[in-house]
Structure 1
Amino acid sequence: MTSLPDAFRSAARGAGATADDADLDAAAQYLLGRWSEPQRHYHDVTHLASVLEVIDRFAHLTPHPDRVRLAAWLHDAVYDPRALGDANERDSAEFAAGLLQSLGAPDEVSAEVARLVNLTAGHATEEDDPDGELLCDADLSILAADAERYTAYAGAIRREYAHVPDDAFRAGRSRVLTELLNLPSIYRLAPIHEEWEERARANLKAELAELA
């Protein structure tokens, strides 16, 4: 089984980074340190590994899978549950561009990975954006989990927002779930939609009813 640092190095190389192996490994370890920060209960290394697993499984559906893999590594590089609006995604995108440039990635790649990271703020993609669709679908794959894993996910999200009073959390979380349910499709790529859409919507509706 490929280790996460090996997976990062492979994706960076595949996307055109020219830094040597030592610098790529150092970047991977630095990112894993970020993904292991104490405020993370769901947005942690387990989430990163799960997103990468989905991307690997459906990599054939996208023209630039290594860019998508790098965006997965970087989409929650900055994660503060107290941040307002899309600040985490914006800061992660800015960080992504800077890191990839420092690793010798082409400017086009750095800019594109930053664009992909920004998409995870609302998980809304334009037409004909299979790279963006795969990243968003992979990021939302937890929504189609079995009941036990979904319950664990919802509990982990609550722990990340432990600073928010119950009433405010229920209102905010209900708004997020409703926005997801109002998307024309939670999952955009056809094979993923066919496999996961129905189960994800059932999970979201069940949690929404519980919150009410």
Structure 2
Amino acid sequence: MTGLTHRWRAAALSAGATRPTAVDDAGAELVARWQEPHRHYHTLAHLTAVLDVVDRYAPAAHQPDLVRLAAWCHDAVYDPRAPGDRNERDSAALAEVLLTRVGLPAAEVAEVGRLVLLTAGHAVDPADADGVLLCDADLAVLAAPEPEYDRYAAAIRREYAHVPEPDYRVGRARVLSGLIALPTLFRSAPLADAGQARARANLTRELAALTGREPGGEVFGAT
């Protein structure tokens, strides 16, 4: 068992799972999903990064082990061709199947499913401590230094290699604009203080490159 699957096992058992063998089987299935060949950003590296943020700020959560389980499940289904929030809905459904199978109580299963669904739009009530932690951890890459952010953006483009460039620019710009429009990208004080400005700068810079507009709004490169 790898260090990563140890983390899954520990979180599941601590949260109330009663079937250790089923826990191990579910962990193996999740690892296999996160290693699918079409993934370039939504990989085990992303999962590990999200879990690391959750662990770092776990004292702020009400039920940190459920947040950890939601982190494991939040991109467990990832098909770049799926429309809308289909991946999040399918990931939540998978979480419910796997966590029921391992013997997690029904209320906890439902809560993990709820948390997974929040990652569809990252619009979360600031009073929802567990939702805040999961969404902030999922978006933490946005506050990375420019070279790391650029690698993230390039990896997302590879996941959508099937989309023609003009269509990708429109779709990606819509995603970025939605994130920029959020009242705040990070709701937990430590992440907000450390990363809010850099995340907005990264998003604005990528959006400018996609739309042919400088951050100030002037068109450049127009024909």
- Calculate the TM-score normalised by the size of structure 1: 0.97
Q: Deviations over 1:55-89 (max 9, x none)?
A: 00000111110000000000011100000000000
Whole-Å Cα distance in 1 between the matches of residues 84 and 23 of structure 2? 31
Tell me which residue corresponds to 1:4: 4
State the Cα deviation string for residues 145-191 of structure 1 (Å, max 9, x = none): 11111111000000000010100100110111011001000001111
Alignment partner, residue 219 of structure 2: none
Identity across aligned pairs (percent)? 56
Q: 1:127 to 1:147 in 2, by over 3 A?
A: closer
> Structure 1 stretches of 5 or more lacking a match?
none
Q: Distance in 1 between matches of 2:208 and 2:119?
A: 25
- In the alignment, the residues of structure 2 paired with residue 30 and residue 173 of structure 1 have an alpha-carbon distance, to the nearest angstrom, of 30
1:146 equivalent in structure 2: 145
1:33 to 2:32 alignment: yes
In the alignment, which residue of structure 1 is the partner of 2:214? none
Shift of 1:98: 1.1
Show the 5 A alignment for 1:162-181: 162-181=161-180
Looking at structure 2, the residues matched to 131 and 102 of structure 1 have their Cα atoms a distance apart, in angstroms, of 23
1:126 CA drift (Å): 2.0
- The gaps in structure 2 that reach 5 residues or longer are 212-223
- 1:45-64 aligned within 5 A: 45-64=44-63
Q: Is residue 2:32 matched to residue 1:19?
A: no
Question: Map of 1:110-189 to 2, 5 A cutoff?
Answer: 110-189=109-188
Moved more, 76-85 or 126-135: 126-135
1:96-115 to 2 correspondences below 5 Å: 96-115=95-114
Paired residue total: 210
User: How large is the Cα RMSD of the aligned pairs?
Assistant: 0.9
Name the structure 2 match of 1:202. 201
How much does 1:30 deviate? 1.2
Cα distance in 1, alignment partners of residues 89 and 65 from structure 2: 21
Counterparts of 2:168 and 2:74 in 1: how far apart (Å)?
23
Mapped partners of 1:190, 1:77: distance in 2: 28
Larger radius of gyration: 2
Mapped pair 1:88 → 2:93 = no
CA–CA distance in structure 2, aligned partners of residues 25 and 123 of structure 1: 29
TM-score (norm. length: structure 2): 0.92
Quote how far apart the aligned CAs of 1:39 are. 1.0
Question: 1:205 deviation in Å?
Answer: 0.6
